[in-house]
Amino acid sequence: MSSTAAGWLQVALLVVALVAVHKPLGDWMARVFTTDAAPDPAPEGPKSRLLPRGHWRVERLVYRAVGVDADSEQRWPVYLRSVLAFSLVSVLFLYLLQRVQQWLPLDHEMAAVEPGSAWNTAVSFVTNTNWQGYSGESTMGHLVQMAGLAVQNFVSAGVGIAVAIALVRGFARSGTDRLGNFWVDLTRAITRVLLPLATVAAVVLVLGGVVQNLSSGTDANTLAGATQFLPGGPVASQEAIKELGTNGGGFYNANSAHPFEGPSAWISLFQVFLLLVIPFSLPRTFGRMVGDRRQGLAIVGVMAGLATASLALTSWAQARAGGAALQLAGAATEGQEVRFGGPLSALFGTATTLTSTGAVNSMHDSYTPTGGMLVLANMMLGEVAPGGVGSGLYGMLVLAVVAVFVAGLMVGRTPEYLGKKLGRREMTLASLYVLVTPVLVLTGTAIAVVTDTGLSSLLNSGSHGLSEVLYAFTSASNNNGSAFAGLSANTPFYNTALGLAMAFGRFLPIVLVVALAGRLAVQGKAPVTAGTLPTHQPLFVGLLGAVVLVVVGLTYFPALALGPLAEALA
């Protein structure tokens, strides 16, 4: 079988698996976030008696420990304050944990993490970015990995889901100032979605060869008579949630390319499935909760269309092996593992940058010029195809609001989406959302390339050097976390600047989204008339796809032209 044919069969298997799982998982999540007491419309929720509908006993214990009334709902400012308070506490705790790890058990003689790096890493994992300026196997003891980093892998994904659900409730509800209870949403996202799925995934990973132990490592005496250190660690448990929560922070420096994280090709493909499954299921949840599954189908259609186009282009570019060095070698195998091969590497690279994952099974810095540009462009689209866990859905819904507004301008009517009028305040929030990340990316890159300290970290020079910096700020601001890893980012400048980009890139959009959700929920529902733009038909799918590409993509064209595009054409 040719490599190309095998490559597309891999994609076919992945698509079949996603199609099969998105329905039950999407429906399940809709049920999870539609409580009995809440005034959610759940006209056709599946009725299963296997699990109780209200709070689970273990959840009641959690609510008691946290000290919240799980049956009272929050207005949007309180919901937002809960999100921000939880994230702030998380950053402080994770920072502290890294700074004192040498005094804690399971540190494996790792020293305290440097303050700059500890700040960067704390923000990185709390914001679901998992940008890693450090090298896992030589910096983090097992306790920090488990009790610090992996915990944030769960809860940052939970926060993403909670915010997305709040926005969906904004559309689904009318005439109320209540958005739900953040603590309940966060708890349920973990007890009913992330933890069960991660447990199953971790077992599969172990069976596939991913390590799971508490050893500090083994010294092997190699055949050639040298000594080789073989690291240990509770990797599978962390790997599972790293992909499932679209986090992406590798236990080891080489991430999922490391044979202990990605031991075989089928495991790598399984990881691609894990990182796509929740983002591709959430539109179904959305459709269910707003009482019209076709709306979810339209959203997932745009996501799938963009993803397919990006994958086809990247696979083609990587197979062509552009770039002087790769031409000379004969294939784009630099930074690539033999067991994965070209097509699976391109698939992983595409999936990880289209979501907010940032895990890698091959090194993006060594991709062909066009391939490298495409994974960069994937992130620039705002990670909405399908995007991160939760953040992908709320990002796409904001863009849908913009698309409806654009359509409204064309025909001269007040734009409405799902019966909600989009007035000046709503559009202001949506527009600010769209502007936040480009401002962070372009400002950050500009500052880096005009300062000596910014330029001194570059491994490659010329246009590829610019790409390294552009990639770093794009990755941080979009909370992706993958890197053109030639950039030596563990410096005071990059630790600080990228830390700020990650924090603003995560929380400014969340503030805007929760505020938007609050405004939408208080509105009544406008009746559908002959003049209402149908938002479940191919016309709207095409319009939304175009809005994503034009509004977001073109923002970055000048920067892309100077970096990867210049390199591809050179």
Chain positions 58 to 117 lying near another protein, rule: CB under 8 A, are: 62, 65-68, 78, 81-82, 85-86, 88-90, 93
Site string for another protein, 242-261 (x = CB under 8 A): ----------xxx--xxxx-
111, 329, 554, 569: which one binds another protein (CB under 8 A)? 329
For another protein, which is the closer residue by CB, 420 or 464? Answer: 464
**331 is a contact residue toward another protein (CB under 8 A):** yes
Tokens 């462009």 belong to 377
**219 is a contact residue toward another protein (CB under 8 A):** yes
Q: Which stretch binds another protein (CB under 8 A): 16-24, 35-43, 330-338, 382-390?
A: 330-338
Q: How far is the CB of 331 from another protein (least distance, A)?
A: 4
SS (H, E, C) 508-548: HHHHHHHHHHHHHHHCCCCCCCCCCCCCCCHHHHHHHHHHH
For another protein, which is the closer residue by CB, 401 or 469? Answer: 469
**554 is a contact residue toward another protein (CB under 8 A):** no
For another protein, which is the closer residue by CB, 305 or 335? Answer: 335
Residue type, 265: A
Query: Tokens for 420?
Result: 């909600």
For another protein, which is the closer residue by CB, 195 or 449? Answer: 195
d(CA 433, CA 442): 15
Site string for another protein, 460-479 (x = CB under 8 A): x---x--x------------
d(CA 178, CA 150): 31
Please, which of residues 199-218 interact with another protein by CB under 8 A? 199, 202-203, 206-215, 217-218
**18 is a contact residue toward another protein (CB under 8 A):** no
438 CB neighbour count, 10 Å cutoff: 18
For another protein, which is the closer residue by CB, 190 or 298? Answer: 190
Q: How far is the CB of 397 from another protein (least distance, A)?
A: 25
Q: CA–CA distance from 474 to each of 389, 402, 438, 498, 502 (Å)?
A: 18, 22, 8, 10, 10
**529 is a contact residue toward another protein (CB under 8 A):** no
Please, which of residues 344-363 interact with another protein by CB under 8 A? 344, 360-363
314, 336, 378, 490: which one binds another protein (CB under 8 A)? 336
Q: How far is the CB of 462 from another protein (least distance, A)?
A: 8
Of 341, 378, 333, which Cα lies nearest the Cα of 358? 378
Please, which of residues 122-181 interact with another protein by CB under 8 A? 135, 137-138, 146-148, 150-151, 154-155
Tokens 């596939």 belong to 208
Please, which of residues 364-403 interact with another protein by CB under 8 A? 365-369, 372
Residues that contact another protein, how many (by CB under 8 A): 121
Kindly report each contact of residues 541-545 with a partner whose C-beta sits within 8 Å and lies 24 or more positions away, as own/partner. 541/298, 541/301, 541/302, 541/305, 543/403, 543/406, 543/407, 544/298, 544/299, 544/302, 544/396, 544/399, 544/400, 544/403, 545/302, 545/305, 545/306
Q: How far is the CB of 60 from another protein (least distance, A)?
A: 13
**335 is a contact residue toward another protein (CB under 8 A):** yes
d(CA 73, CA 517): 14
DSSP strand pairing (178-180 vs 74-75) = antiparallel
**17 is a contact residue toward another protein (CB under 8 A):** no
d(CA 474, CA 382): 9
| Residues whose CB is less than 8 angstroms from the CB of residue 193 and which lie 6 or more positions away in sequence, other chains included | 28, 29, 32, 161, 278
d(CA 210, CA 504): 34
Query: Tokens for 259?
Result: 């044979």
Please, which of residues 398-457 interact with another protein by CB under 8 A? none
